[in-house]
Structure 1
Amino acid sequence: MSDRVVAIASDHAGYRLKQELAEELGKLGAQPLDLGTHDEESVDYPDFGRAIAEAIENGRAERGVLVCGTGIGISIAANRNPAVRAAPCHDATITRLARQHNDANVLALGARTIGAEVAKDCLRVFLETPFEGGRHERRVAKLGNGAART
């Protein structure tokens, strides 16, 4: 694993899992850029989806990891930015395919839908799996101005 910067953020529902994943990022050789939240007090997930999107767009991070209750709402928020291809994932296979076929640059996880070990597997696969390019390149390029760069 390279020494790349990976932004990480969550809402209150994902706070505990985010903390575990931030630690795991370090073990995997990445530098976590923690964009919040910093406790379990209720917050609005769109704010954290936007924070990750801005970090990706402006080059502060190569990739991002988002955690909310399901991974769905926070991924919708991040995907409003054309530089982001956030994929809500629930296992290593879906994560691998999101990287290989969709060049996902943000991994979205649901703290209420998967356990910490599955989330760590997803994180590892997300960081290790390259984009296949080829027949997928044309399709991914149609997704937005950040497509097929990672």
Structure 2
Amino acid sequence: MNHEKYDNSLKIIKNTSCTTICLAPLAKVIHDSFESSGDSGSQPMPSLPPKRLWMAPLGSCGVMAKGLPRTSSLLLLVLLRTSKTKDDIKKVVKQASKVSLKDFLGYTEDQIVSYNFNSNAHASTFDAGACIALNDHFVKLVSWYDNEFDYIN
């Protein structure tokens, strides 16, 4: 998500995994809009072991791959330094999906399942209905992606 720093003199561009491509737009919005402590890897989460437990890519699990061979979801756990509501988070993600990251980040408030994302070109589609605030500082965010289609886009 450093597209503003791209230098066209670069000779090698390495693409990354579809899970990372899904994570990047959502993590960028949260990081740029709120001070999250999860990106440093040095802050323990409440009631969790003191290790980096920031991202849980559900789509990487073998069981998920068998059941949902194309479409996956990503669970992003974020510890915010300042108190925010899930509505605050939804607002900034929705705005980014319409403006700065419109080609990469989708946003939905619909009741959806994995099938809804087959052939979806967005690298990441934020599921506003699945957003859960565990408290004022700790949130669970879910984003969907098509393993094959968004990756080639």
- State the TM-score, normalized to the length of structure 1: 0.36
Which structure has the bigger radius of gyration? 2
- State the TM-score, normalized to the length of structure 2: 0.35
